[in-house]
Amino acid sequence: MEEIADSLPRAVAIIDTNSTVLHANKAAQKMLSPEMVGRPLGAFLPASALKPLMDRAFEGEISPPLSVHITEPTERYIDVDFSQAISARPGDTQTAVMFAVLADRTLAAKERELRADFLANASHELKTPIASLKGYIETLRGHAKDDPIAREKFLGIMSEQAERMGRLVTDLLSLRRIESSEHILPSETADVRKAIEAARNALTPLAETRDVNLVVNLPETPTSTTSGKTDECVQLFLNLMENAIKLSPPGSTVTTNLEYLPNWSGEAFPQSASPATKSRSIVALASSDKPVWRAIVSDEGPGVSPTHLPRIGERFYRIAGDLPAQEKGTGLGLAIVKHIVMRHRAGLFVQSIHAGTTKNIPSGTSFSIVFKSTNPIF
Q: Which pLDDT does position 191 carry in this prediction?
A: 93
Domain boundary pick from 137, 160, 184: 184
Cα–Cα distance, 195 to 229 (Å, whole number): 10
Cα–Cα distance, 227 to 110 (Å, whole number): 23
Q: Which residues contact 72 (CB under 8 A, 6 or more apart)?
A: none
pTM: 0.63
Q: Which pLDDT does position 272 carry in this prediction?
A: 63
Residue ranges in the chain modelled with pLDDT below 70: 73, 85-95, 110, 114-115, 117-119, 121, 124, 272-275, 319-329, 356-360, 376-378
Which range of residues forms the domain containing residue 299?
186-372
* β pairing state of 253-261 and 213-217: parallel
What is the per-residue pLDDT across 151-206, written as a single tens digit (0 to 9) for each? 888 888 888 778 777 877 787 778 878 877 777 778 889 999 999 999 999 999 99
* Strands ordered across the beta sheet of 253-261: 213-217, 253-261, 292-298, 364-372, 347-353, 278-283
Residues 319 and 192 both lie in one domain: yes
Average model confidence (pLDDT) across the chain: 82
Q: Which pLDDT does position 85 carry in this prediction?
A: 65
Residue pair 213/371 in contact by the 8 Å Cβ criterion: no
Residue pair 78/106 in contact by the 8 Å Cβ criterion: yes
Cα–Cα distance, 25 to 10 (Å, whole number): 9
Residues 54 and 150 both lie in one domain: no
Q: Which pLDDT does position 367 carry in this prediction?
A: 95
Domain boundary pick from 104, 138, 169: 104
Write the CATH number for 24. Answer: 3.30.450.20
Q: Which residues, in sequence order, are bridge partners of residue 258?
A: 295
Residues 204 and 319 both lie in one domain: yes
Domain boundary pick from 184, 214, 245: 184
Q: Which DSSP category does 46 fall into? A: T
Number of domains in the chain: 3
